[in-house]
Structure 1
Amino acid sequence: MAVAAAHDQDAAGGGAGGTGAAGGCPLEAADQAAAYADYVRTQTLLDLQRPRTGEPAELSFIIATQVMELLFTLVRQHWTAARDALEADDAEAAIAALRRGAGAQDVLVESWALLGTLTPAEFDRFRDSLGVASGVQSPSYRHLEFLLGNKSPGMIRPFRAQPEVHRDLERALAEPGLYDAALRLLHRRGLGVPAASAERDWRRPYRPHPDVEKAWARVYADERPGNELLRLAEALVDTAERVTRWRHRHLMAVKRAMGAKPGTGGSSGLDWLARNAAQDVFPELWSLRTAL
């Protein structure tokens, strides 16, 4: 940003030679100035904020939501890459993808700061403009939940009126999730993951199994620096912890802005968010810690 400010100063005449001179603004022609906007689609992006009321806080709500949607897409890309790498027996590539995903997750968690000071009065002044719109209707968020193993065929029914979205979610529902792929890798490497956990109906939510916990305990028993499965386990824990952080920030933002009122989409609001935040992601990686 400091470099951009210096360029702006030069362009305004504060530089040694002005536009085109050494040390001046690098923009020399109108087509160059438009290159950034064309690549990023700046005008399209900035045209997507359409508040429906005069409440200033509504703009923060819209931008925060749109930023999260973009980050959902990015996290999904990294998690899918990690899942596919695990299916291909490439644990190192999976770890790298999970690390990239963790960086995107950190930004996603901090996105709640844009709404962290929203008061009940501010929210009430534009809440009616949402109608029945709710974050639970986001297909991108649903994809992430499917990758985490939170699956049910009923979760895609609301998207039947959007055929392309519905087909995409149907595919994701029928595929192994991120944790499924990790357990399949452990199964192939003979670590005792039961066949019922390595091959199951992927359309159903994952259920913990004591033998899976034992398999992960074997991984943790080998603390050699070259144990890629241990590094994979910790990368999965990093991912899971960030999911819980995001859920908790969501819970607290809602609790602060609207208390225990029902959600706009008809959910129980605070109760649903609290149950979601309390649910362990990749459960055996957490339960085994008591015995280690």
Structure 2
Amino acid sequence: MTVSTTEHHGAQLDFSKDMSYGDYLQLDAILSAQKPLSPDHNEMLFIVQHQTSELWMKLMLHELHAAIANVAADRLPEAFKMLARVSRIMEQLVHAWDVLATMTPPEYSAVRPYLAKSSGFQSAQYRRIEFLLGNKNAAMLKPHEHRPDLLAQVQQAYEAPSLYDEVLKLMASRGITVPGSHTQRDWTQPYAADDGVKDAWLVVYRAPRDHWDLYQMGEELVDLEDAFRLWRFRHVTTVERVIGFKRGTGGTGGVSYLRKMLDVVLFPELWTLRTEL
């Protein structure tokens, strides 16, 4: 007997015996993780925006760790792909603020009392990203002391060489003169700009064909920091738009604190050398 077209397609659409799309993506767990505490309609937006941002940050950390390992092993082509992906993830995070910006001050005020002291300031993933990109600050370990498991992860990023540290070490191993103060140092200390490091990058930028992959690395880092600056700036403007100059729920100065973060430069020599080219 010939199987009808309807029966045939029905057999194809029977997923009862195989892993389904929802099973693979653990959608039951993900889609049941939104638990608003307030009666306000707009809290769902607040939760989903922050949860999706944390998922993007998880991927960012996955890529950053791999990129740093590839730089340390002098495998730059692999690192370039990963860093380009990190920059594109940051673009996604910039646009996430556009969605949150549709929440008006009265709408946020209806939700805020239910947030208690929870704050993005306490994001362990964001802190690890900051540390991996070189913005080290011992005080930023404290918000995670109540969670030893998270503190251990943040501490590991704090104590390890940053992406930029590994790039400078690689440049030195290639025979480019980089100050020893920047290739052998206490990695927990904030990065300090140095004219000797700028001179090392000028060697690369003045003869790009002789140092093509390092030249490309320099531009990947600039692209990465450019995207990170946009992410930070959009954060500031969204917070100011939604809460004005109120203090943050985590106890920070809110907009005033975020504006100070706009002045942080991760890879300073790659910006200052442009004046001398």
TM-score greater than 0.5 by the shorter chain: yes
1:206 to 2:186 alignment:
no
Moved more, 161-170 or 243-252: 161-170
Does the 8 Å contact 2:135/2:266 carry over to 1?
no
Label 1:285 to 1:28 Cα distance change in 2 as closer, same or farther (>3 A).
same
Residue matched to 1:12? none
Deviation at 1:26, TM superposition (A): 4.1
Name the CA distance, whole Å, in 1 between partners of 2:210 and 2:227: 24
Name the CA distance, whole Å, in 2 between partners of 1:68 and 1:19: 43
1:20 to 2:8 alignment:
yes
Residue matched to 1:106? 91
Residue matched to 1:10? none
1:60-209 matches, within 5 Å, as 60-209=45-194
TM-score normalised by L of structure 2: 0.93
Alignment partner for residue 30 of structure 1, among 12, 16, 37? 16
Does the 8 Å contact 2:204/2:215 carry over to 1?
yes
Q: Secondary structure at the match of 2:20?
A: helix
Name the CA distance, whole Å, in 1 between partners of 2:222 and 2:50: 26
Q: Secondary structure at the match of 1:20?
A: helix
Structure 2: unaligned runs, 5 residues or longer: none
Deviation string, structure 1 residues 53-89 (Cα, Å, up to 9, x no partner): 1222211110000011111111111111111111111
Deviation at 1:100, TM superposition (A): 2.0
Name the CA distance, whole Å, in 2 between partners of 1:174 and 1:31: 48
Name the CA distance, whole Å, in 1 between partners of 2:104 and 2:207: 50
Moved more, 167-176 or 61-70: 167-176
Residue matched to 1:283? 268
Does the 8 Å contact 2:46/2:100 carry over to 1?
yes
Alignment RMSD, CA only? Answer: 1.8
Structure 1: unaligned runs, 5 residues or longer: 1-15
- Aligned AA (2:65): T
Label 1:25 to 1:265 Cα distance change in 2 as closer, same or farther (>3 A).
farther
Deviation at 1:225, TM superposition (A): 8.6
Deviation string, structure 1 residues 92-121 (Cα, Å, up to 9, x no partner): 221121112222222122211220222111
Residue matched to 1:13? none
Label 1:45 to 1:228 Cα distance change in 2 as closer, same or farther (>3 A).
same
Residue matched to 2:40? 55
- Aligned AA (1:147): L
Does the 8 Å contact 1:72/1:140 carry over to 2?
yes
Q: Per chain length, whose mean CA-contact separation is higher, i.e. which structure has more relative contact order (CA < 8 Å, sep 6+)?
A: 2
Does the 8 Å contact 2:204/2:211 carry over to 1?
no
Moved more, 234-243 or 88-97: 88-97
Deviation at 1:273, TM superposition (A): 0.7
- Aligned AA (1:188): S
TM-score normalised by L of structure 1: 0.89
Deviation at 1:154, TM superposition (A): 2.4
